[in-house]
Structure 1
Amino acid sequence: MLVRIVKLSFRESEIPLFLANFEQVKDSIRAFPGCQFLELYRDQNDTSIFFTYSYWDTAEALEDYRHSELFKGVWATTKPLFSDKPEAWSVDKLASLK
């Protein structure tokens, strides 16, 4: 399993548009083949910074998503809203405690 963490920084005025778009596409992203989990977080100290956190079956499943029409649409809407370049990490989960 691959865990994908993406940091997204937005202009304050664009946050409502980002959140509305995320609300519209989140179920489609989660239902994409190979996606097992999806969450959205907001920084407590800088509320213009968000993180997506998702689990993917494989790196190939994530790449399939990143080359899909769904991702292209999400990216076309989201990219113009950024105040800074997004950052992304693909990591392996080593431990999980509940």
Structure 2
Amino acid sequence: MFVRIVKMSFDDANIKHFKSVFETHKTSIRHFPGCLFLELYQDKNQPNIFFTYSYWNDETDLENYRTSELFKNVWSKTKTLFNDKPQAWSVDKVVSLP
């Protein structure tokens, strides 16, 4: 299992639209084969910056999602709203405390 973190930045006028796109597709993304967990975060000091945080079984599952019709549909609606290039990290969880 690994964690995928994606940072996205939007113009203020596009925040509501992005939240709507995420709300519409979050369940489908979460239930995509290999996705174990999904959350969306909004920065407290810069509310136009968002992060998705997801757990994946393995890199093949994430790649299958990234080449799926679901991803193409969501990404085509989301990428037009960005005001900066998104950033993504795939990380291994080292320590987790309950």
Q: Same fold (TM over 0.5)?
A: yes
Counterpart position of 2:46: 46
Amino acid aligned to 1:36? L
Instruction: Please give the per-residue CA displacement for 1:33-67, whole angstroms capped at 9, x wherever unaligned.
Output: 00000000000110000000000000000000000
Q: Map 1:2-81; keep pairs closer than 5 Å.
A: 2-81=2-81
**In angstroms, what is the RMSD of aligned CA positions?**
0.4
Where does structure 1 lack aligned partners over 5 or more consecutive residues?
A: none
Secondary structure of 1:83's counterpart equals coil
Where does structure 2 lack aligned partners over 5 or more consecutive residues?
A: none
Cα distance in 2 for partners of 1:95, 1:30 equals 23
- The TM-score with structure 1 as length reference comes to 0.99
- The TM-score with structure 2 as length reference comes to 0.99
Cα distance in 2 for partners of 1:75, 1:23 equals 14
Aligned residue pairs, count: 98
Cα distance in 2 for partners of 1:4, 1:82 equals 19
